[in-house]
Amino acid sequence: MNPAEIEETAILLKALGEFNRLSLVCKLCECKTPQNAMCLCECCSVDASVVSRHLKTLTQAGILKLEKKGRERSYSLDRVNVAKELRSLAAKIEASDLAAA
């Protein structure tokens, strides 16, 4: 892993590594359909503006996908991407055991 890859991965993990943000992700985990910010506010007891900022952070990190329709903005988990990134890191950590041997 080169520095650029490390940095990119760190951004993803950092975005996930905060309680309220991870709560939002878990909430979206259980949702079949995209959810708007108002609905997501319920899962963590902070101001709507805070949720808005967390959702932005998660979106920028490639964790959520945003869909605008009217005055609502619906967020959904980018399940494929996040799972791929996490598994990729898991594989590196585990498999290099063999590579180094």
Kindly list the residues in this chain that would bind its own copies in the complex (CB under 8 A).
Answer: 1, 3, 6-7, 9-19, 22-23, 25-26, 29-32, 77, 79-80, 82-83, 86-87, 89-94, 96-97, 99-101
For residues 64 and 49, the answer to whether their CB atoms sit within 8 Å is: no
With CB cut-offs between 5 and 8 Å by kind, which of its own copies, DNA, none does residue 32 bind? its own copies
Sole residue written with tokens 């985990």: 29
Q: Please name which of 58, 53, 90 lies closest in space to residue 77, comparing C-alpha atoms.
A: 58
Does 57 bind DNA (CB under 7 A)? Our answer is: yes
With CB cut-offs between 5 and 8 Å by kind, which of DNA, its own copies, none does residue 9 bind? its own copies
Sole residue written with tokens 């996490």: 86
